[in-house]
Amino acid sequence: MFLKQNIIYVFIDASNLWEAQKVKGKFFDYEKLRNFIKKEFGGSSIEIFYYTAYPADGTRDYSLDGKHKFFTFLKKD
């Protein structure tokens, strides 16, 4: 017997989302998104994929520490 799972996949394009946030002057709350999806769709599991350009070493003069913290936040369940 197989158990049917309701797995929900969310794909986020970082570039487009960032531009929309700048235009609206509001920032996206990923925790609220996860909670909304759980409540509205009752998924047994939620997988969120966040696509972004990641600069190669030596091509930037700024720190990526904030990006690392953000990606770590997205990984937690």
Residue 1 placed within a domain: no
Cβ–Cβ < 8 Å for 43, 7? yes
SS (H, E, C) the chain: CCCCCCEEEEEEEHHHHHHHHHHHCCCCCHHHHHHHHHHHHCCCEEEEEEECCCCCCCCCCCCCHHHHHHHHHHHCC
- Residue 43's pLDDT band, with cuts at 50, 70 and 90, is confident
Count of the separate structural domains present in the chain: 1
Segments forming the whole domain that contains residue 20: 7-53+64-75
Residue 59 placed within a domain: no
- Residue 77's pLDDT band, with cuts at 50, 70 and 90, is low
- Residue 1's pLDDT band, with cuts at 50, 70 and 90, is low
Task: Provide the pLDDT for residue 3.
Answer: 66
Q: What is the pLDDT of residues 7-36, one digit of tens each?
A: 899 898 888 888 888 888 888 888 888 889
Residue 58 placed within a domain: no
Residue 35 placed within a domain: yes
Residue 40 placed within a domain: yes
